[in-house]
Amino acid sequence: MKRLIAVVLLALPMLAGAVATPTEHDPVAAKRAVALSEQLRCLVCQNQSIAESNAELAVDLRRQIDEQIRAGKSDTEIIDFMTARYGDFVLYRPPFKAQTVLLWLGPLLLALAAIAGFGLTLRNRRRRLVERPLSEAERAEAERLLAPDGSRKTK
């Protein structure tokens, strides 16, 4: 009987800990960790999420996410922690505010500038192609060059 009580008393803290905090074998916590990792940019690679990257910093950030999930933090709290520590650059979808307005509007501004440049180029090309009559010197030069009798002479 004493043995049974000792086993139960030793097992209680482990059971309580397993129920209260998620482990690496918890599929819900693992899914949350992956979802959060996909929202955060690897600060070393910059074109990969920390879920895709194998850089040391990405591995450390994934470890931090796992630790915070085990500590019972919400997704918002984890994202807030990461942005407080690394800035809005760590987010793949940074919030629209004064510091990030160029990130959001930059592609649109570049597209508008390209369209405007293309329009100006076409307008200038059209202006140059407007027909005007040839001067007498130009007409004589054209006739000399187009003469079929071989009277083309170089100057």
pLDDT digits (tens, 9 = 90+) for 56-87: 999 999 999 999 999 999 999 999 999 999 88
Residue 149 has a pLDDT of 75
Instruction: Say if residues 54 and 42 touch (Cβ distance below 8 Å).
Output: no
Residue range of the domain that includes 127: 99-146
* Helical (H) or strand (E) element with 120: helix 101-128
- Could you give the C-alpha distances from 151 to 44, 72, 140, 144, in angstroms and in order? 71, 95, 13, 7
Summarize pLDDT for 102-153 with one digit per residue, the tens. 888 999 999 999 999 999 999 888 887 777 788 899 899 999 999 887 555 5
The confidence score (pLDDT) of residue 1 equals 66
What pLDDT sits at residue 21? 44
Question: Exposed, middle or buried, 110 (CB in 10 Å: 0-12/13-18/19+)?
Answer: exposed
Q: Is residue 132 part of a domain?
A: yes
Whether 155 maps to a domain, the answer reads no
Residue 3: per-residue pLDDT: 61
Question: What one-character DSSP code corresponds to residue 133?
Answer: P
| pLDDT of amino acid 50 | 92
Q: Are residues 18 and 45 both part of a single domain? A: yes
Task: Output DSSP code: residue 89.
Answer: G
Q: What is the pLDDT of residue 17?
A: 44
Residues 68 and 109 in one domain: no
Q: Is residue 154 part of a domain?
A: no
Q: How confident is the model at residue 9 (pLDDT cuts 50, 70, 90)?
A: low
Confidence of residue 19 (pLDDT cuts 50, 70, 90): very low
Same domain, 47 and 106: no
Q: Name every residue whose Cβ is closer than 8 Å to that of residue 148 and which is 6 or more positions away in sequence.
A: none
What pLDDT score was predicted for residue 8? 52
Whether 152 is in a domain gets the answer: no
Same domain, 114 and 50: no
pLDDT at 24: 59
Which of the two residues, 80 and 89, has the higher pLDDT score?
80
Among 61, 76, 95, identify where a domain stops: 95
In a domain, 129, yes or no: yes
Domain count, the chain: 2
Q: Are residues 26 and 86 in the same domain?
A: yes
pTM: 0.55
Q: Which strand (E) or helix (H) includes residue 101? A: helix 101-128
